């Protein structure tokens, strides 16, 4: 039987401050900056799970729900929600906290696929995952459908090379 790890083992939380260089002419954070933060926390989360170096294979979904402004605090949380033989799907949620009102708002959610690689850069097997929260279980339930969609998109992309 395949060994599985609790999703709490890989859960990663980061906090960042939105500074003026991170923002556009409207005073809201650049989407690219958020994507960079998301990719970083997904990598750390997957490395904690696999105990290996990882590479980003895909960013399946990114939903920009609301924006963050200069002075806001960003709370990023990453968790492995499903695994393949060498890959891990990581769910990342970004919340903004307004320091004055203390209100928290979801700004971005994303699902990324990370692949564990050995010292030669070759994919290496990872342990399974046991989703803990209801949200993780729901996301894990749809993992196979996301994988099939990624494979179809890869096939389509190869047709245009």
The CATH number linked to 52 is: 3.10.129.10
Using CA atoms, how far residue 9 sits from 48, 133, 142, 160, in Å, is 7, 13, 21, 40
- The answer to whether residue 2 scores a pLDDT higher than 70 is no
pTM of the full predicted structure? 0.90
Q: What's the Rg (C-alpha) of the chain?
A: 17
Q: Sort 75 into a burial class: Cβ within 10 Å, 0-12 / 13-18 / 19+.
A: middle
Which residue carries 């060994």 as its tokens? 3
Per-residue pLDDT tens digits for 54-110: 999 999 899 999 999 999 999 999 999 999 999 999 999 999 999 899 999 999 999
Task: Give how many domains the chain has, as a whole number.
Answer: 1
Which domain does 70 fall in, by range?
4-159
């Amino acid at each position: 039987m395949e060994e599985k790890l609790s999703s709490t083992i890989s859960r990663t939380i980061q906090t960042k401050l939105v500074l003026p260089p991170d923002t556009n002419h409207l005073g809201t954070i650049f989407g690219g900056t958020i994507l960079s933060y998301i990719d970083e926390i997904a990598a750390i989360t997957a490395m904690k799970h696999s105990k290996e170096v990882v590479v980003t294979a895909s960013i399946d979904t990114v939903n920009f729900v609301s924006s963050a402004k200069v002075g806001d605090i960003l709370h990023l949380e990453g968790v492995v929600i499903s695994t393949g033989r060498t890959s891990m799907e990581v769910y990342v949620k970004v919340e903004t906290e307004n320091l004055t009102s203390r209100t928290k708002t979801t700004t971005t959610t994303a699902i990324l696929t990370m692949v564990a690689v050995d010292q030669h850069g070759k994919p290496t097997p990872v342990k399974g995952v046991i989703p803990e929260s209801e949200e993780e279980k729901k996301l894990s339930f749809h993992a196979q459908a996301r994988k099939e969609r990624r494979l179809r998109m890869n096939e389509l992309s190869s047709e245009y090379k």
